[in-house]
């Protein structure tokens, strides 16, 4: 990997929220990344690697809220035991559960010259490096038939296990990836397939929602043939980050960050209520 990669930093700040359990809500994550964008963008924080896990949550994109029978789709997801929220970055519906590890890399945009492609590519490189011990070939290209398809889908042998998104705010950029570590990728995809079928109700829409083929998705446990847990990948993430860092520090939110977090959470919460009701 080139030494001009934005992954090389004098200091990486780690915020690990991967073991907070079911009470940790996905809206809290959005508020967290917005807060960290602000801190890194203003120079108050070094770049941040945040890890997080949310239990049984389907995160919708804004475009999903325009589905003609969205209330039917949401009712179905809730019957299956999932919380439903709407995120503030782009993209479409994704599934989060205890077998999905999420990572955010948060940089100062200007200082690092992090263009959109460079942001995505830094995460592709990071994930490839994390998975290098498993001897797999990780490709980045759109996997048609997956949920939330995009140019930077990550796949092994044509089956998608991860998707990347970005959020840019106040001079900071958060590049986010979800990694399906264990469990069944095709079962997660089947849940979202059913959500779209119920929410579309057979109607034609201007926007083309994905036609999901569950077999296009798999977890890393399925793809590597090893029984991986989120904690295994978390260890690999920290080892990998150590290669790029002068030093690693673990710092909780500062007092100014905490008050900004409270403000951001309220904003995200209110926006989510408006989007869903």
Given strand 159-169, what is the order of strands in its sheet? Answer: 139-140, 154-156, 159-169, 172-180, 100-108, 48-52, 9-17, 245-250
Q: Copy the structure tokens of residue 50.
A: 């945040």
Torsion over CA of 68, 70, 76 and 81, rounded to 10 degrees?
Answer: 160
Is 180 a known active-site residue? Answer: no
Residue 198: CB atoms within 10 A of its CB come to 18
Phi, then psi, of 122 in degrees rounded to 5? -65, -35
> Does residue 107 contact residue 121 with C-beta atoms inside 8 Å?
no
Taking the C-alpha atoms of residue 201 and residue 151, their distance in angstroms, rounded to an integer, is 28
Taking the C-alpha atoms of residue 272 and residue 277, their distance in angstroms, rounded to an integer, is 9
Report strand pairing: 57-60 vs 83-86. parallel
**Catalytic option among 53, 74, 101, 148:** 148
Taking the C-alpha atoms of residue 198 and residue 48, their distance in angstroms, rounded to an integer, is 39
Nearest to 92 by CA among 33, 156, 148, 32: 148
> Which H helix or E strand runs over 15?
strand 9-17
Length of the chain: 277
Q: Which residues are catalytic?
A: 148
């Amino acid at each position: 990997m080139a030494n001009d990669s934005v992954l090389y930093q004098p200091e990486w700040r780690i915020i690990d929220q991967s073991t907070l359990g079911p009470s940790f809500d996905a809206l809290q994550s959005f508020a967290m990344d917005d807060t960290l964008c602000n801190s890194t963008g203003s120079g108050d924080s070094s770049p941040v690697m945040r890890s997080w896990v949310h239990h049984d949550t389907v995160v919708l994109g804004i475009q999903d809220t325009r589905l003609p029978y969205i209330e039917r789709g949401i009712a179905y997801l809730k019957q299956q035991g999932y919380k439903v929220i709407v995120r503030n970055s782009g993209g479409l519906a994704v599934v989060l559960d205890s077998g999905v590890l999420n990572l955010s890399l948060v940089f100062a945009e200007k200082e690092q010259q992090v263009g959109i492609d460079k942001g995505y590519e830094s995460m592709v490189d990071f994930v490839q490096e994390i998975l290098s011990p498993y001897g797999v070939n990780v490709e980045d290209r759109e996997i048609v038939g997956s949920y939330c398809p995009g140019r930077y889908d990550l796949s092994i042998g044509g089956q998608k296990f991860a998707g990347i998104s970005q959020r840019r705010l106040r001079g900071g950029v958060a590049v986010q990836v979800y990694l399906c570590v264990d469990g069944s990728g095709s079962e997660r995809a089947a849940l979202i397939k059913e959500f779209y079928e119920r929410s579309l109700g057979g109607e034609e829409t201007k926007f083309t929602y994905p036609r999901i083929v569950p077999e296009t998705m798999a977890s890393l446990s399925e793809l590597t043939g090893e029984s991986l847990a989120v904690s295994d990948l978390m260890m690999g993430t920290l080892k990998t980050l150590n290669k790029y860092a002068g030093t690693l520090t673990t710092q909780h939110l500062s007092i100014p960050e905490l008050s900004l977090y409270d403000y951001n959470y309220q904003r995200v919460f209110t926006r989510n209520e408006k989007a869903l009701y």
